[in-house]
Amino acid sequence: MSDIVTAEPGAARTEPRRPPRRPAKYRRLRAGLAPLPWIGPAIVLIAVVVIWPVVVMVQTSFQNVSALGITLGSAGFSNYSAVLDNPNLPGILLRTVIWVAAVVSITMFISLGLAQLLNQRFPGRRMARWAIIAPWAASVLMTALIFRWMLDADHGVINIFLHDLGIVSSFNSNEADWLGRPDSAMAWMIVVAVFVSLPFTTYVLLAGLQTIPDELYEAARVDGASPWHSYRRITLPLLRPAFLIGAVINLMNVFNSFPIIWEMTNGGPGYQTSTSTIFMYDLKSTFVGQAAAMSIINFAIVVVIVAAFVRLNRRSLQEAR
């Protein structure tokens, strides 16, 4: 993993010193421009396609835009204050924290086990690995739709199954209406979010497992360590970098997650199953300026969370080198 070490001025000079025929400034310019052919295209691509729309979005957050998209003039900070004063916001923020914490922690926990499982040798392992890919290959929107279909109170196959087990007593009852009740809806949507996150994180961990040399395990076994002991002492520490990469990426994706909640409950009833991303999208149809302000707030929240995460794990990220 990239370590958070600042660039040292001396490190760039690897070639032997030339006789001072050219001025030092020219040499430094050359050294300064040296990365350009390598990272230049990436910078251009990001600046043009990603950064510019961000600038537009920041501008919009200070404008008064009507529900039909017509810009009516400057709004100063009123969009921000409107968003922050929205009575639904505290509940939405709390729910966002719960959503992200639950999905990421459950996903990473299960991924550890799944990666370990898929790292073993057994017949048909390739097929098993392909099957795990399914939720990643299918679009999240479609997965959300099929889960909504399966949870339908009238004919959903999950309800049919639970009915056969005796857990759901009758169809078209309140208890069968999983997505109509906020708490059960959130629980199921967390299940779906974990489901679609697992393939990626499992593969990140699996790749990480691959880089751990057998010799370490052999040595531990020779020394008489139990399987659990060598898992704790060898596997987990060496997996840490991969684990952290997977967790950070998962965290960002879950925070930004949109289709699952939008398709399964639309954030409703009211805003009782909305996260901050859903709320931002809902604002977009009516209060465009506020939606832009909410996006900026969201961005700030994610940056803070990720920065905190990276800071806490700085040492283990550095060790990866």
Partner 1 sequence: MRSRLYAAVAVGIAALLAAAGCGSSGNGSSNGSVTLHFFGADYSTGAGSTSTTNFWDAVAAAFHKQHPSITVDVSTVVWTEFPQKVNTLIENRQYPDILEGNPAPPYAAEGLIYPTSQILSQSVIRNLVPKFLKDTDYNGTPYGIPWTTSTRALCYNKALFSSAKISSPPTTWAQLKDDAAAIKAKTGEIGFGLPLGPEEAQAESLLWFLGNGGGYLDSSGNYAINSPQNIYTMNWLKSFAASGDTEPGAGTANRTDLWTEFAEGKMGMVNCSPAIVPIITGNNGSGMTTSDLGVATIPGRNGPLTKTLGVHDDIVAFKAGGHAAQIKEFLDFAYQDQWQLQFNNEYDLLPATATADQKFAQQHPVFSSYMTNIADSVNYPTKANWTTVENQIKQTMGQAVTGSPSSVLGTIQQTATSTSS
Partner 2 sequence: MAARGLTAQRPAAGRARRAPGRLPSPRTAIIAAVAYIVAIIFILPYVEMVITALRPQGELLGRDYLPHHFNWSTFTNMWGSGYGLTSSVLISLEIAGGATLLVMVVALPAAYYTARRRFRGRLAFLLLVLATQILQPTVLIVGIYKEYLNFNLENISPVWSLIVVNAAFNLAFSIWILNAYIGSIPVELEEAAMVDGQSRLGAMFKITIPIAMPGIVTSLIFTFIAAWNEFITALTLTTNPNQYPLTVRLDSFRGAYEVDWQHLFGVSVVATIPVIILFALIEGRVVGGLTAGSIK
Map the footprint of partner 1 across residues 116-175, applying CB under 8 A. Answer: 153-154, 172-174
CA distance 172 to 183: 18
Residue among 78 and 231 whose Cβ is closer to partner 2: 231
Residues in 176-195 at the binding interface with partner 2, rule: CB under 8 A: 195
User: CB 235 → partner 2: shortest distance, Å?
Assistant: 9
Asked if residue 4 lies in contact with residue 318, where contact means CB atoms within 8 angstroms, the answer is: yes
Task: Tell the smallest beta-carbon distance from residue 282 to partner 1 (Å).
Answer: 6
Of 143, 201, 208, 282, the one binding partner 1 (CB under 8 A) is 282
Residue 185 neighbours by CB distance under 10 Å: 21
- Among partner 2, partner 1, none, the one that 37 touches (CB under a kind-dependent 5 to 8 A) is partner 2
According to DSSP, the β-strands at 63-65 and 71-74 are antiparallel
Q: Please check whether residue 197 is in contact with residue 190, taking contact to mean a CB–CB distance below 8 angstroms.
A: no
Nearest to residue 34, comparing CAs of 54, 7, 61, 55? Answer: 7
Across the strands, what pairs with 65?
Answer: 71
Which residues in 24-53 contact partner 1 (CB under 8 A)? 25, 28-29, 32-33, 35-36, 40, 43-44, 47-48
Closest CA to 277 of 59, 147, 93: 93
- Binding of partner 1 by 267 (CB under 8 A): yes
CB of 317 to partner 2, least distance (A): 9
Q: Which helix (DSSP H) or strand (DSSP E) does residue 97 occupy?
A: helix 89-119
* Binding piece for partner 2, criterion CB under 8 A, among 82-90, 93-101, 134-142, 177-185: 134-142
By rule CB under 8 A, what string of x and - marks binding of each residue 275-304 to partner 2? --x--xx------x--x---x--xx--xx-
Q: Specify burial of residue 213 (Cβ count, 10 A radius: 0-12, 13-18, 19+).
A: exposed
Binding residue for partner 1 (CB under 8 A) from 16, 69, 73, 224?
69
The helix or strand, by DSSP H or E, that contains position 193, with its residue range, turns out to be helix 182-210
Q: Which does 17 bind (CB under 5 to 8 A by kind): partner 2, partner 1, none?
A: none
Query: According to CB under 8 A, which residues from 240 to 269 bind partner 2?
Result: 241, 245, 249, 252, 256, 258
> How many whole angstroms separate alpha carbon 119 and alpha carbon 112?
11
Query: Of 42, 49, 67, 165, which lies in the binding site for partner 1, with binding defined by CB under 8 A?
Result: 67
